[in-house]
Amino acid sequence: MSKRVSLKDIANKVGVSTALVSYVLNGLEKEKRVGPEVVKRIREVAGDLNYKPNQIARSLRKGSTNTIGLIVADIANPFFGQLARIVEDEAGKHNYTVIIGSSDENCVKSASLIETFLDRQVDGFIIVPSEGCNQEIESLVNKEIPVVLVDRFLPELSTSYIVLDNFGATYEAVTHLVAKGYKNIALIAYKSSLVHMQERIRGYSEAMKDNHLEQAIQIKELSYNRVKEEIEEGVSKLFDGNNKPDAMIFSTNALSISGLYALKNHKIRVPDDMAIIGFDGNEAFDFFYSPLTFIEQPIEEMGKESVRVLLDQIKGSKENVQIELNHRLILRESTGG
């Protein structure tokens, strides 16, 4: 491997110190400090030698790496893939690089990713927090390492975060179904104490109560790691029960997809046997024979804002910015057109 060109190589060739080369190449010569012909010569030689600064050395010296650590639940999940793409683009505009890790909603993996990224001296974190990982994130906060939570937040912790108006999203979903004449509305959720899930559940429950449907409340809470098995079971049970639902709301993208497979297997007709509302956009929603009404999240805004807020913190802002973004309910055939 041909050795990389360093500041020293340029300095030797021009006959000045590396310090001066560094000043010039970083545009800090302040003109007066050095003759214009030397500046020109340094630039020339740097160009000829195709000099590229070694960011690792610079990072060590400056104590910052221009790197953001992004931890999502699973980069293969389209919602997080899209989010990661926005983060990548936004960070890139500001000369930051992103390293990405998938936690699988698992606390041990999250902790290990945080540690790895910390060892690599990331300047800040954007994290989709998993259940029960408060401690790991709290320790970042205590160390005053910039961190922005996204998609969910931890109410016990005082951090910046960007989330959806989860309560409003499911509340509106119920309201829409009620307006369409549905009454036995079930919610499919994850078994999770995380606030985004609790808020989606609360939005559903409150809306049901406000519509005097509390006796029809049915919530199926599934385990993240056993969704496929449990959703089949859950759908069967809902249908064998006494108050068979006439509508279902899925509270995440992945649950929606799994739910659609279950409905397909059970040959349940949408919206005749049952109306359906999904979460997040998804191509599969469009090609389901009865295109899905769904709760749309502003992923782009979510990604952009999280980068913006994080960079502010990296630049020194001590303010916690807590943003709730608005959903949009996209109406289609699965709730009666």
Nearer to DNA, 5 or 248 (CB): 5
> Residue 32 Cβ, how far from a second copy at the closest point, in Å?
30
Contact 268, 274 (CB under 8 A): yes
> Residue 4 Cβ, how far from DNA at the closest point, in Å?
6
Choose, by CB under 7 A, the member of 13, 43, 58, 308 that binds DNA.
58
40 near DNA, rule: CB under 7 A: no
With a CB cutoff of 8 Å and minimum separation 6, the contacts of 195 are 152, 153, 154, 155, 166
Choose, by CB under 7 A, the member of 34, 111, 321, 323 that binds DNA.
34
25 near DNA, rule: CB under 7 A: yes
62 near DNA, rule: CB under 7 A: yes
Nearer to a second copy, 135 or 243 (CB): 135
Residues forming contacts to a second copy in the complex (CB under 8 A) are 1-2, 52-57, 59-60, 65, 74-78, 80-82, 84-85, 88-89, 92, 97-102, 115-121, 143-145, 257, 260-261, 264, 282-284, 286-289
Site stretch for DNA (CB under 7 A), options 2-10, 130-138, 247-255, 279-287:
2-10
Show the site string, 5-24: x = touches DNA by CB under 7 A, - = not. Answer: xxxx-------xxxxx-xx-
Longest dimension (CA), the chain: 89
Quick one: how far is CA 62 from the chain centroid? 29
63 near DNA, rule: CB under 7 A: yes
Angle formed at CA 42 by CA 37 and CA 43, multiple of 5 degrees: 100
> Residue 127 Cβ, how far from DNA at the closest point, in Å?
24
Choose, by CB under 7 A, the member of 47, 48, 60, 239 that binds DNA.
60
Contact 65, 59 (CB under 8 A): yes
Amino acid at 27: G
Instruction: Give a three-class secondary structure readout of 131-185.
Output: CCCHHHHHHHHHCCCCEEEECCCCCCCCCEEEEECHHHHHHHHHHHHHHCCCCCE
With a CB cutoff of 8 Å and minimum separation 6, the contacts of 229 are none
Distance (Å, whole) CA 36 – CA 38: 5
Distances (CA, A) of 258 to 71, 233, 235, 251, 278: 24, 12, 11, 11, 11
> Residue 17 Cβ, how far from DNA at the closest point, in Å?
3
Choose, by CB under 7 A, the member of 12, 44, 54, 94 that binds DNA.
54
When CB distances are held under 5 to 8 angstroms depending on the partner's kind, the choice from DNA, a second copy, none that residue 287 binds is a second copy
Give the residues across from 144 on adjacent strands.
Answer: none
- Among 96, 117, 231, 246, which residue's Cα sits nearest to residue 182? 246
116 near DNA, rule: CB under 7 A: no
Distance (Å, whole) CA 172 – CA 164: 13
When CB distances are held under 5 to 8 angstroms depending on the partner's kind, the choice from a second copy, DNA, none that residue 186 binds is none
When CB distances are held under 5 to 8 angstroms depending on the partner's kind, the choice from a second copy, DNA, none that residue 22 binds is DNA
When CB distances are held under 5 to 8 angstroms depending on the partner's kind, the choice from a second copy, DNA, none that residue 120 binds is a second copy
When CB distances are held under 5 to 8 angstroms depending on the partner's kind, the choice from a second copy, DNA, none that residue 268 binds is none
Angle formed at CA 274 by CA 291 and CA 292, multiple of 5 degrees: 15
> Residue 5 Cβ, how far from DNA at the closest point, in Å?
7
Q: Could you list the residues that contact DNA (CB under 7 A)?
A: 3-8, 16-20, 22-23, 25-26, 32-34, 51-54, 57-58, 60-63
